[in-house]
A = this chain, B = another copy of it.
């Protein structure tokens, strides 16, 4: 747990940790390195957040730097904007991504526009973290995936990690970034996997997609909670001798079009996987770019595997029928391989 994390720049052998612990570590490091970093949100202080992402951080850094807010998301994001304008580097936690909605005016009217509308005078080096997505039987309206809404807003960066190691390095990069970054954390991944994560401060570059498994048959484009799903599909396919390339987009905005196009030019086939509702999901943007820039390399339709065009179902016993799984990904792979 965070309180015990040794802060060191050397990469020592350490026990594997979960993604939520990695996030905690990243925030602890950032708070330690830079007095301008503040962390706040509903229940992040004493309680350490509903997922314990900020566990023990208030004890360690004090109530002035890690604090609870009233129950008001527009207020939280708006406060953060003001703090950033005043020279701080705020990290705001919104309890669930579906509760970003009350803050969307602050987000769409200001967070992404401030630099543009002040012609560069003010930047907003702010991070907004929010758990997103399904797969763990959360209550109704706690499993939304609103990344498409954010990635359509100019001036915002949208980052979605898929492992403990990536989460830590990407979050540290997001905190360092001069622009506002949404950091969406797949609830499903918070504790599903443990990984030995480098100690100390390290960053991964934002704005880069990453080939997590190379292959030649089909490119699978995914991010966040869908990466493990695609990896599983790739393993299954590999047993049948089909090598799928899994591309973790990681940063949706600004999008790393080059890596996407390069992959699809090599494989000639693309499957795009996301758990948000299908229509207007962010994967449509990926498809559109491929269809504009790499169509002559395509040997098959671009197929999407997505959540359905319905709200994420609160009917926990059947939610796995909504959220894409390896089986559905493999069915799509077969479709593009005929």
A290 close to chain B: CB less than 8 A: yes
Stretch in A29-37, A101-109, A128-136, A167-175 with 4+ CB within 8 Å of B: A101-109
Knowing A105-B104, A152-B280, say if A300 contacts B310 (CB, 8 Å): no
Contact indicator A284/B276 (Cβ below 8 Å): no
Contact indicator B291/A287 (Cβ below 8 Å): yes
Name A257's closest neighbour in chain B (CB-CB).
B279
Q: Which of B141, B153, B287 contacts A288 (CB 8 A)?
A: B287
Contact indicator B141/A109 (Cβ below 8 Å): yes
A112: chain B residues within 8 A (beta carbon): 311
A108: chain B residues within 8 A (beta carbon): 101, 104, 146
A198 close to chain B: CB less than 8 A: no
A102: chain B residues within 8 A (beta carbon): 74, 104-105
Interface residues of A in 155-174 (CB under 8 A from B): 155
Name A107's closest neighbour in chain B (CB-CB).
B101
A314 close to chain B: CB less than 8 A: yes
**Shortest CB distance A85–B (Å):** 18
**Shortest CB distance A333–B (Å):** 14
A113: chain B residues within 8 A (beta carbon): 141, 311
Interface residues of A in 281-300 (CB under 8 A from B): 281-285, 287-288, 290-293, 295-296, 298, 300
Question: What are some 19 contacts across the A-B interface (CB < 8 A)?
Answer: A74-B102, A101-B104, A102-B105, A108-B146, A109-B141, A117-B140, A148-B148, A148-B152, A149-B149, A155-B311, A253-B279, A272-B288, A283-B288, A287-B288, A288-B291, A291-B298, A291-B301, A295-B298, A295-B301
